[in-house]
Every structure is written in C-alpha cells, then in structure tokens.
Structure 1
C-alpha cells in the first residue's frame, strides 16, 4: 500500500487502508488521523474490534 514517498530524517509514517470484501481489494483511508491502531477479535461479542488513538488529541477510540 505504499504511496511511493520516501520518509527521511527519522520521521515516522503510518497509513491505514480498509477492505469491504474480506481482503480481496484495499482502499487507502485518506483522512488518516489515527495512530497505533490495534485490531483484535472480541470473543464475547463475536466482533472484530479496533482501538486507535487520534494523533493530535491523544484520545482513544474503540470501533467494533
């Protein structure tokens, strides 16, 4: 999912993409305000869950 840009000078870069067809195709998410997403299977609810941090505010978000 690289966009071809090279990051230099010790900078970090994180990109997010999503799939609506079980991973067959991927779409880059352009409004990338998230940092450090953690995706896991939540057995009690039988759902995939994602915890992420908004980069500028350091607020944690939970999606399921």
Structure 2
C-alpha cells in the first residue's frame, strides 16, 4: 500500500510539470504571461487536489494487485 506522503510527493512533482506546460499553453493561447500563468495556477490547484483524491481512492482498491 502506498503512503499518503508518497501520494502527495508524486502529485506535487506531476503538478509542477503540468504547471510549466499549462503556463506555456496559456501564454501561446492568450499572448499574455500573466493570464497564462494565472490559468496555469488555477488549473494546477484543481488538478493537484483531484490527483491526490484519485490516488488515495485507488490506494484502497485491491483489484489488480498481487498481494
């Protein structure tokens, strides 16, 4: 079983990569670094929360595990 700390660290690393990607996409789409960055931050906050929840739910699912 995965620890909560591991789930959070994985989520943070994943979201740092997503933040950088979304900032670039937002910049290209809007032409504004400020708007692109704001969109990226909002997306990352929502995505981080959902990913942690998703990982914790799956941590409790026994299906597909060799125990």
User: Same fold judged by TM-score > 0.5?
Assistant: no
More helix by share: 2
Task: Compare CA radii of gyration and give the structure with the larger one.
Answer: 2
Higher strand share: 1
TM-score (norm: length of structure 2): 0.22
